[in-house]
Amino acid sequence: NAGVTQTPKFRILKIGQSMTLQCTQDMNHNYMYWYRQDPGMGLKLIYYSVGAGITDKGEVPNGYNVSRSTTEDFPLRLELAAPSQTSVYFCASRQGAAVGYTFGSGTRLTVV
Amino acid sequence: AQSVTQPDIHITVSEGASLELRCNYSYGATPYLFWYVQSPGQGLQLLLKYFSGDTLVQGIKGFEAEFKRSQSSFNLRKPSVHWSDAAEYFCAVGPNNAGNMLTFGGGTRLMVKP
């Protein structure tokens, strides 16, 4: 099993550009999440999904959008990139509350 | 709202010494608690979890954690640290809500001296 796969691993964007961070899981998990990680701040939840077709905002959703058309895929869209979106982005999935997340390896994004 | 505090941003221990990383949470009911480890440039790996039963839980790589309801704590311990344990450690809390999402602490970076 591949688990949770994120692409790309690294990306440099110019201010105002847009991009999509891809996330795919092959474990048939219902719950999927996007977090951003900033130094000393832990992980902050951007968006989450409880199943195909259902998404909801987390703690820091501004500047991002998501979709969940299939169980496997949960892409994160950045529109009009800003320097404040420079961060490491992690996608995660889980099947239920009593199990932990399975994390992807992350995408390091720099906006210049 | 739930929250997690890891009071120590950085900790340095000598190889072979014991380790305790602190985690305090705020949540109204019995929480689900987790510890994750992140090696440089990597994703987060689950070390251990607690959601009911015995308050002392064992995890991978020789780690254990103890849930203390009276202190709202879930500290991570290891009797003898190895150089390969150098990493960042995150405590997380998650209620059994519709989204099942976790709230993470700010992390503790562990350095191991030879």
| Amino acid in position A22 | Q
A26 three-state secondary structure: coil
Residue B96 has what pLDDT? 57
Whole-Å CA distances, B13 to B19, B48, B76, B85, B111: 7, 21, 14, 10, 6
How many other C-beta atoms lie within 10 A of the C-beta of residue A38? 14
Put simply, whether A42 touches B (Cβ < 8 Å) is yes
ω before A8 within 30° of 0 (cis)? yes
Search chain A and give the residue with CA nearest B8: A40
Distance CA B100, CA A83 (A): 30
Interchain contact, A101 vs B44, CB within 8 Å: yes
Choose between A55 and B94: higher pLDDT.
A55
Which residues in chain B have Cβ-Cβ distances shorter than 8 Å to A100?
34, 36, 46, 49
A33 in contact with B at a CB cutoff of 8 Å?
yes
Is there a contact between B4 and A41 if contact means CB atoms under 8 Å apart? no
**The predicted structure's pLDDT at residue B11:** 97
pLDDT tens string A11-65: 999 999 999 999 999 999 999 999 999 987 889 999 999 999 999 999 999 999 9
Token pair for residue B18? Answer: 């014991």
Q: Is the pLDDT of residue B100 over 80?
A: no
Q: Is residue A1 very low, low, confident or very high in pLDDT (cuts 50, 70, 90)?
A: low
At B83 the three-state DSSP class reads helix
Residue in B36, B42, B100 nearest the CB of A96: B100
Using only the alpha carbons of chain B, give its radius of gyration: 14
Residue B95 pLDDT greater than 80, yes or no: no
* Closest residue to B96, CB basis, from A40, A92, A97: A97
Minimal-distance CA residue of chain A relative to B10: A40
Tokens, residue B29: 């009911």
Mean pLDDT of B39-48: 90
Are the CB atoms for A32 and A91 separated by under 8 Å?
yes
- Residues A61 and A47: beta-carbon distance below 8 Å: yes
- Nearest alpha-carbon partner for A101 in B2, B92, B15: B92
Q: Tell me, what's the pLDDT at B23?
A: 97
Q: Could you identify the residue written with the tokens 């949770």?
A: A4
Closest by Cα among A94, A76, A85 to A21: A76
E strand or H helix at B90: strand B87-94
Interface test with B, best of A33, A43, A46 (most B CBs within 10 A): A43
